[in-house]
Copies of this chain bind each other. A is one copy, B any other.
Amino acid sequence: MADDNPIRFGLIGCAEIARKLSRAINLAPNTTLSAISSRSIEKAQQFRSKNGLPETVTIYGSYDQVLDDPQIDAVYMPLPTSLHVKWAVLAAQKKKHLLLEKPTALDVGELDEILETCRSNGVQFMDGTMWYHHPRTAKMKELVSDSLLFGQIRSIHSTSTFAETPEFFEHNIRVKPDLDALGALGDTGWYCIGAILWAMNHRLPTTVVASPPAHRNSAGIILSCTASLHWDDVDPQAVATFHCSFLSHVSMDLALRGSNGSVHLEDFIIPYEESCAFFDFTSGAKFVDLHIGWNVKPERVEVSSTLPQEALMVQEFGRLVKGVRDCGRSPDEKWPEISRMTQLVLDAVNKSIDLGFVPISL
């Protein structure tokens, strides 16, 4: 199955998440990790040796060097969000296809600059949301698209929460205004918003409104928030709520309720196990006589996966990049548009909080 002309990846930065992506790039059948960069050559070297990567992987002491390496087709960029616009634009200008960590930018204006540069330079853009690529996600979509089994979507609820350590709150980039100014909304809310949009077939909500409270640290970074979204143009109108937080035990809940069925899972972002994931599906539930029980229980739908979801993401990205590099195709526009919608809604939630929990029309 080895690809004799794989997409050659360079890492822009050696964040913790880059370890997971390095593995994924090497697991995906159509990509290979060719270079690593950090702001110091020592860090890049350490990353290579600690992660058991071969010496054939080039190490660089600056991001520019990866972008100038003609052997590199694509970059994975797990930099702090505030650095995205600078380095993503530069990468696109240097014709490097771009797999960019989420949140994609500090706001949609910055993201548009990135996307426009990708477009004008003919490079593929994708953000690093992995769960979209798990076969479980496709299976859920198949079921919730069934007008008999699931019916029309009515409500969605999603959470993405983590209980962070005191050290995290002191030192992590995700609570620093100059690095990841979107805090928990950007880091964890991104997934909730993405899941809601995914469930709504990427139809933008009519209105977004945050609910009190929104916790902030002393520097003003959001540590926890809650919001609801609604759609006027669905009849009867659909509603979604989400909660994201750095202050709560791990949760990754996704509940989808339609007119005829429902889907529940509690690990939608990172499945409990790599090789097999599941969700609960209920359809046509009614109460038995006297309302003393249900006629059906949720069915556990299991979906196995030959590759981890992050490798499937890299594989999909690699496939699109190959289309551009080897077959003269235009970059795919679906993934950038999904990123943009997610960022747009995220901005609206942020604005709603900033203005005192007022509704924001989209």
A residues near B (Cβ < 8 Å) are: 17, 19-20, 23, 151, 154-155, 157, 159, 161, 163, 207, 209, 211-213, 215, 223-224, 226, 228, 230, 232, 236-237, 239, 241, 243, 245, 247-251, 253, 255, 257-262, 264, 266-267, 270-274, 280, 282-283, 285-287, 290-294, 297-298, 308, 310, 357, 359
Contact = CB atoms under 8 A, between A and B. Distances in A.
A6 to B, nearest CB: 22
Given A230-B212, A241-B211, A266-B264, A248 B155 contact: yes
A228 B230 contact: no
Given A257-B159, A266-B280, A270-B292, A236 B215 contact: yes
A28 to B, nearest CB: 14
Contact of A155 (B159, B232, B271, B287): B159
A245 to B, nearest CB: 7
A211 B228 contact: yes
B262 A251 contact: yes
Given A157-B243, A159-B155, A285-B249, A290 B20 contact: yes
Nearest to A245: B154
A262 B161 CA distance: 11
Nearest to A225: B239
A158 B49 CA distance: 48
Q: Is the interface of A mostly helix, strand, loop or mixed?
A: strand
B280 A293 contact: no
A207 to B, nearest CB: 6
Contact of A294 (B155, B270, B286): B270
Contact of A163 (B20, B159, B260, B274): B260
Contacts of A17: 291
9 contacts: A154-B161, A211-B211, A224-B239, A228-B228, A243-B257, A248-B258, A267-B294, A270-B292, A270-B293
A308 B294 contact: no
A226 B155 contact: yes
A328 to B, nearest CB: 36
Given A161-B154, A259-B248, A286-B250, A209 B207 contact: no
A23 to B, nearest CB: 7
Contacts of A298: 266
A257 B157 contact: no
A310 to B, nearest CB: 8
A243 B161 contact: no
